[in-house]
């Protein structure tokens, strides 16, 4: 297992600042449940892998991120987007979202990297995990690294990637 000191450099650059996570913050994940999402089989498997990776890192935000992913996996429906009948945020899809009612931003959900940039949002961040599996028009609380939440809305999916 890696310690938070070993991963703090990339965690701090990801929007997932390495902070001490106490048990009340973990309880905030329970308050979010049920976490309604529709995951493709591919995205479900990828989140399982990511949860195992986060669980193997001690300290920082990784226990909280692992806890969020575990709850999302437990509550998710696993379907292909076509079976749901509407667009679903999947890996590789361009999504338009708004946080706290601010002007919408469009980014691509990515499996690469740990830092949000102008083009993409990695699923290795709280925002990426939360957006994955959302449907257009869905509003959910976005959990932050410090355990607080903000309102998140998926406004549109301008480019849908059909998972295999």
C-alpha–C-alpha distance, residues 164 and 148, integer Å: 35
**Could you report the average pLDDT of every consecutive run of 10 residues in the chain (164 residues)?**
30 38 58 83 94 86 89 88 73 94 93 66 92 94 89 92 59
pLDDT score of 140: 93
DSSP 93: -
Q: How many residues does the chain have?
A: 164
pLDDT of residue 25: 57
Distance between CA 110 and CA 69 in Å, rounded? Answer: 16
Q: Cis peptide leading into 34, omega within 30 of 0?
A: yes
For residue 2, give the DSSP letter: B
pLDDT for 82 equals: 61
Predicted TM-score (pTM) of this structure: 0.78
The pLDDT of residue 95 is 94
- What's the CA gap between 120 and 124, in Å, rounded? 11
What DSSP string runs through 133-149?
T-BTT-EEEEEPTTS-E
15: left (phi over 0), alpha (psi -120 to 50) or beta: left
Q: Which of 112, 105, 131 lies closest to 39 in space, CA to CA?
A: 131
CA distances from 44 to 39, 68, 132, 134 (A): 6, 14, 10, 13
Domains parsed from the chain with CATH numbers: 4-159 (3.10.50.30)
């Amino acid at each position: 297992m890696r310690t938070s000191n070993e991963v703090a450099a990339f965690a701090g650059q990801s929007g997932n600042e390495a902070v001490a996570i106490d048990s009340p913050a973990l309880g905030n994940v329970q308050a979010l449940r049920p976490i309604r999402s529709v995951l493709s089989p591919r995205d479900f498997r990828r989140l399982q892998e990511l949860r195992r990776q986060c669980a193997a890192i001690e300290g920082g935000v990784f226990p909280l991120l692992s806890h969020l992913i575990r709850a999302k996996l437990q509550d998710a429906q696993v379907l292909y987007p076509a079976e749901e009948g509407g667009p679903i945020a999947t890996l590789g899809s361009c999504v338009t979202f708004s946080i706290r009612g601010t002007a919408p931003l469009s980014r691509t959900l990515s499996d690469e990297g740990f830092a949000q940039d102008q083009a993409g949002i990695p699923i290795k961040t709280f925002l990426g995990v939360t957006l994955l599996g959302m449907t257009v028009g869905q509003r959910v609380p976005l959990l932050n690294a410090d355990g607080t939440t903000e309102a998140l809305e998926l406004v549109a999916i301008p480019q849908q990637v059909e998972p295999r």
